Amino acid sequence: MLRLYDSRLSGNAWKVRILLNQLQIAFERVTLDLAKGELNRPEVAQKARFKRIPILELDDGRTLVESSAILLYLAEASPLLPSDSYLRADITSWLFFEQFDLTRALGFPRFFKLRGVYEEQKDKVRFFQEIGYAGLNKLEDWLNRHAFLVDERYTLADLGVFPYVSLAHEGGYEMERFPATKAWLARIASQPRFIPMLEGAKG
């Protein structure tokens, strides 16, 4: 059985759990408390090439890292990732946009709030928000003209971009500025077999 190393707080881990649930793939979950240094447990550390979760462990013990690479691997041959090479590339481009423009910029201010260091990190928050708002504007611009990111239907692109955008307000982002994005978030959260973050993931 697949084994997923994740954490309660990670949007990157959440996206893999949503996908596994939507594809109805059974898996074992090993949920780490990163604040307690559980990423440094030797059996985990040797699998964590980039010192972060999620990590997917296959039946044969091989592991894969990077949430978006894991999404593309798991969604292969599913309706969420069409076999058409152009559509696949288009979906993949959104996953790279998410990691380049949104994940860090939206995720770190939220992380600072959760850790109670938002005020003391306000220079970094301002810096991240400059990047993050630029990314959110690009997303809003697209969603003003489209209901979904690719092919006018729910695909892996929507799933991958959703988590950090949906959590951005927890890091102080004013999402009222992005009405089309808010409508899209509701649309994605109402897809069949969508699942919320883990309980207790706010603290």
Query: Which residues of the shown chain bind a second copy in the complex (CB under 8 A)?
Result: 49-51, 58, 62, 64-70, 72-73, 76, 85-86, 88-90, 92-93, 95-97, 99-101, 103-104, 123-124, 127, 131, 138, 142
Q: Which two tokens stand for residue 131?
A: 């990047």
- The distance of closest approach from Cβ of residue 92 to a second copy in the complex, given in angstroms and rounded to an integer, is 4
Q: In terms of CB distance, is 164 or 173 closer to a second copy?
A: 164
Contacts of 141 (CB under 8 A, 6+ apart): none
Q: In terms of CB distance, is 118 or 194 closer to a second copy?
A: 118
Radius of gyration, alpha carbons of the chain? 17
- The distance of closest approach from Cβ of residue 93 to a second copy in the complex, given in angstroms and rounded to an integer, is 4
- The distance of closest approach from Cβ of residue 76 to a second copy in the complex, given in angstroms and rounded to an integer, is 6
* Residue 82 and residue 155 in contact, taking contact as beta carbons nearer than 8 Å: yes
Q: In terms of CB distance, is 36 or 51 closer to a second copy?
A: 51
Q: What are phi and psi of 50, to 5 degrees?
A: -105, 20
Q: What is the dihedral of CA 73, 74, 78, 80, to 10 degrees?
A: -80
Q: In terms of CB distance, is 69 or 189 closer to a second copy?
A: 69
* Residue 66 and residue 16 in contact, taking contact as beta carbons nearer than 8 Å: no
